[in-house]
């Protein structure tokens, strides 16, 4: 049996409908409707409650319906012996690139300043930057990060990237290690975080990290919220280390109504929308992985249980 659990109930119901049309309604169940726990072998999920999967003694395969799998490891649902896979969809990468490009261009051309001037009915020209003069650094050169870096380079940005291992991406200078990270940060006008969330990346963007950045650089977080120390980020902006930030991911989502990010004049908040899973394209990967499980094969886009991505 295939178990479906998504934190947003309407998305879970949609996944259950899609899976039922492919494998039969009798083979699919929403988590709240399961009666025979021992029959569940496959879980299709997003943000399941902590240790929920331990209720299913025969669960052997866990499919994340997004690119991230930190929600599985953080909730302690990576049960021993179960294989885990994630979604790698070209459309996710394309959407991420478009989101980042939009933020960078809007900031380069001072659109937020002009919005403010419009509210004040102030007619005033301001200076702006051009693509050829801008260095963008990408934290994380996995599938999505590499796509973003390659496309930014292709349109003329000086593009740098940092990852655990050296990457060979046309037009992108690759950095590794602490020394490489510091060298990259010192050159950066726009820093984009697309790192996976692991124990080594949790709280990586702290006061010390931010102090290494080129003065008045701009930060974009489309990775994971727990990679950033919130108060250190606010302090860096207030001190002029950063000129501002656009944040799409947070420690707790939805972002609490009392959080300082909402009202900070130099922070833009978006509700985790930089790149949203397309059920129509992602479902084909999920179907294929379920078929592969039934044949005793490893899933596509399998996650390393050691690396946790």
Task: Provide the 10 A C-beta neighbour count for residue 41.
Answer: 17
Cβ atoms of 203 and 230 closer than 8 Å = no
User: What whole-number distance in Å separates Cα of residue 294 and Cα of residue 4?
Assistant: 17
The yes-or-no answer on residue 272 being catalytic is: yes
Catalytic residue chosen out of the listed positions 5, 86, 147, 224: 224
The yes-or-no answer on residue 8 being catalytic is: no
Which 8-state DSSP code applies to residue 183? H
By C-alpha distance, which of 233, 277, 271 is closest to 249?
271
Catalytic residue chosen out of the listed positions 71, 264, 272, 292: 272
| DSSP letter string, 215-230 | TTEEEEE-S-GGGB-H
By C-alpha distance, which of 229, 225, 201, 167 is closest to 307?
201
Supply 299's token pair. 């899933």
* HEC string for 189-216: CEEEECCCCCCCCCCCECHHHHHCCCCC
Give the count of alpha carbons within 13 A of 27, CB side only: 13
By C-alpha distance, which of 62, 47, 49, 57 is closest to 3?
62
Q: Report the catalytic residues.
A: 224, 272
């Amino acid at each position: 049996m295939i178990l479906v659990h998504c934190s947003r109930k309407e998305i879970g119901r949609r996944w259950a409908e899609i899976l039922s049309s492919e494998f039969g309604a009798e083979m699919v169940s929403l988590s709240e409707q399961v009666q025979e726990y021992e029959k569940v072998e496959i879980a299709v999920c997003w943000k399941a409650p902590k240790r929920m999967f331990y209720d299913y003694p025969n669960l052997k395969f866990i499919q994340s319906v997004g690119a991230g799998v930190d929600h599985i490891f953080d909730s302690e649902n990576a049960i021993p012996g179960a294989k885990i896979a994630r979604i790698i969809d070209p459309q996710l990468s394309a959407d991420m690139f478009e989101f980042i490009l939009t933020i960078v261009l809007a900031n380069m051309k001072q659109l937020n300043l002009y919005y403010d001037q419009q509210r004040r009915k102030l007619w005033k020209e301001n200076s702006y930057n051009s693509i050829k003069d801008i260095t963008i650094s990408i934290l994380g050169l996995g599938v999505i990060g590499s796509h973003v870096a390659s496309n930014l380079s292709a349109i003329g940005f000086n593009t740098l990237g940092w990852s655990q291992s050296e990457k060979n991406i046309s037009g992108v200078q690759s950095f590794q290690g602490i020394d490489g990270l510091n060298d990259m940060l010192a050159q950066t006008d726009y820093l984009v975080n697309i790192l996976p969330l692991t124990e080594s990346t949790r709280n990586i963007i702290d006061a010390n990290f931010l102090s290494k950045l080129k003065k008045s650089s701009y930060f974009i977080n489309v990775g994971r919220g727990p990679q950033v120390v919130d108060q250190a980020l606010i302090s860096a902006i207030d001190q002029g280390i950063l000129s501002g930030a656009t944040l799409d991911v947070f420690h707790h989502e939805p972002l609490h109504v009392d959080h300082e990010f909402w009202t900070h004049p130099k922070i833009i908040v978006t509700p985790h929308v930089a790149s949203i899973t397309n059920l129509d394209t992602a479902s084909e990967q999920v179907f294929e992985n379920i078929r592969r499980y039934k044949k005793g094969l490893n899933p596509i886009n399998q996650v390393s249980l050691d690396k946790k991505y």
